[in-house]
Amino acid sequence: DAKTTQPPSMDCAEGRAANLPCNHSTISGNEYVYWYRQIHSQGPQYIIHGLKNNETNEMASLIITEDRKSSTLILPHATLRDTAVYYCIVRVNYGGSQGNLIFGKGTKLSVKP
Amino acid sequence: DSGVTQTPKHLITATGQRVTLRCSPRSGDLSVYWYQQSLDQGLQFLIHYYNGEERAKGNILERFSAQQFPDLHSELNLSSLELGDSALYFCASSVSAGGSYNEQFFGPGTRLTVL
């Protein structure tokens, strides 16, 4: 089972920041938080990942709380093309670990004009 | 474009039949993962190969099998097909087997319809 809890759906106005929350209260010290998204029926797309520090790349920012029990993915200026299902996934990142991803139900983000 | 290719894009077949789905990973990636996405089950991990060897199995039925060839492409074989096998099948690839930084790149998927 997925180790994360996300709201099933969210709306966001075009041009505004989209803040997608994720609860992972049972996260272990060696588990990373990953975010992927799936646009319509395309293959999922990697967005960002982090361990405990906040991370930023060209797509998004990831804010992880100090106790690491929750995180927020921030899309700074959402566009209509960001409409997708966003998946928050926790997994370990050490040699010998299983690399597969365990997807939950995700959050369906609808960006509206 | 993720660099991962999957063929065919669409496949329509009948119950009881056998099909083969093909995946070519990104250049340099040694890991191939297979996932199934159906309406009621969501995205489910099926199986993982790394450099030709099976590394992990998920919710893969005994009627399904996979392999990774020396050129690193992979095939997923589905036999004795049932209506419930209708789904999107995704392949993903990554450089490593699960260690540090294991971003997975997903292909466009194969949509299987069993009639």
For residue A30, name the pLDDT band (cuts at 50, 70, 90): confident
Calculate mean pLDDT across residues A92-110.
Answer: 78
List the single residue in A with minimal CA-CA distance to B88.
Answer: A41
Q: What is the pLDDT of residue B67?
A: 97
Whether A43 and chain B come into contact, CB under 8 Å, resolves to: yes
Query: pLDDT tens, B48-104?
Result: 999 999 998 998 999 999 999 999 999 999 999 999 999 999 999 998 766 556 689
Q: What is the pLDDT of residue A92?
A: 72
Report CA-CA distances (Å) from B19 to A72, B77, B92.
Answer: 41, 6, 19
Cross-chain residue pair B106–A104, CB shorter than 8 Å: no
Whether A105 and chain B come into contact, CB under 8 Å, resolves to: yes
Residue B61 makes CB contacts below 8 A (sequence gap 6+) with none
CB A31 within 8 A of CB A95: no
For residue A3, name the pLDDT band (cuts at 50, 70, 90): confident
Report CA-CA distances (Å) from B31 to A16, A36, A38, A62, B55.
Answer: 37, 18, 21, 26, 9
Cross-chain residue pair A95–B58, CB shorter than 8 Å: no
Whether the pLDDT of residue A105 is over 80: the answer is: yes
Q: What is the pLDDT of residue A96?
A: 52
Question: Considering only CB atoms, which chain A residues are within 8 Å of B10?
Answer: none
Whether B33 and chain A come into contact, CB under 8 Å, resolves to: yes
List the single residue in A with minimal CA-CA distance to B91.
Answer: A43
Best probe of the B interface among A91, A100, A102, A103, by most B CBs < 10 A, is: A100
Whether A2 and chain B come into contact, CB under 8 Å, resolves to: no
Cross-chain residue pair B2–A45, CB shorter than 8 Å: yes
List the single residue in B with minimal CA-CA distance to A34.
Answer: B103
Residue B62 makes CB contacts below 8 A (sequence gap 6+) with none
Whether B95 and chain A come into contact, CB under 8 Å, resolves to: no
Bigger pLDDT: B18 vs B94: B18
